[in-house]
Amino acid sequence: MIFNVSGLIQDGIGATRTYDVEGEVPVEGGSPEKVIGTTEMIRTKDGVLVRGHMRLVEPEACSRCLRPLVETVRIEFEEEFLATTDVKSGRPLDQEIDPDAFRIDENHMLDLTEAVRQYREVSTEMQPLCRPDCLGLCPLCGADLNEGDHDCEAGPVDSRWAGLASLRLESSEGKD
């Protein structure tokens, strides 16, 4: 997802280019994921404003029942990539650039990979679900509660709650 923006930088402020994007985003601890979409690049005083409209399909597991699912992640962002060299002279620009800012390299190449990776991380579901009413797994035997009747005697999961559970049992026995 690398774009040569030397022509865009030579144009005046406000010049616009639109590109189709198709590439891969690195994923920590996994194989790269394919991303597709469009990007609009607008010349600014200090570089290029990028408006990204992308999506990727990501294999996940339901956070409750652990069933595999496929999640479509929409990635929308607007970031300014700052120029580091003058396009006409090739000299480095005399400006201080925030070390965390996205940059256009000395060859006037703009790489969207890191921006897309960062926005992918914040766009994914923290706890994806196979369906909104997923019941999850039994805390005692691990059976999938979505698959119908479950006859496991569910007691207190945490021994620290055992005292309260015994009070509940006493209360229900007193109603007979």
pLDDT (tens digit, 9 = 90+) per residue, 69-108? 999 999 999 999 998 887 767 677 777 777 788 999 988 8
Query: Per residue of the chain (176 residues), what is the pLDDT tens digit?
Result: 899 998 998 888 999 999 999 999 888 877 888 999 999 999 999 899 999 999 998 888 999 999 999 999 999 999 999 988 877 676 777 777 777 889 999 888 999 999 999 999 899 889 999 999 999 998 878 889 998 887 776 655 577 877 776 776 666 665 55
Q: Report which of 40, 116, 39, 38 is spatially closest to residue 75, judged by C-alpha positions.
A: 116
| CB atoms near residue 85 (< 10 Å) | 16
Residue type, 18: T
**CA atoms within 13 A of residue 110's CA, in its CB half-sphere:** 29
Integer Cα distance of 112 and 52 in angstroms: 9
If you average pLDDT over every residue of the chain, what do you get? 86
DSSP secondary structure string for all residues of the chain: -EEE-HHHHHSPTT-EEEEEEEEEE--TTS--EEEEEEEEEEE-SSEEEEEEEEEEEEEEE-TTT--EEEEEEEEEEEEEEEE-B-TTT-PBP-----TTSEEE-TT-EEE-HHHHHHHHHHHS-SS--SSTT---B-TTT--BGGGS--------SSGGGHHHHHHHHHHHHHT-
Q: What is the pTM (predicted TM-score) of this model?
A: 0.73
* CB contact at 8 A, 156 and 166: no
Tell me: the pLDDT tens digits for 135-145?
A: 999 887 888 99
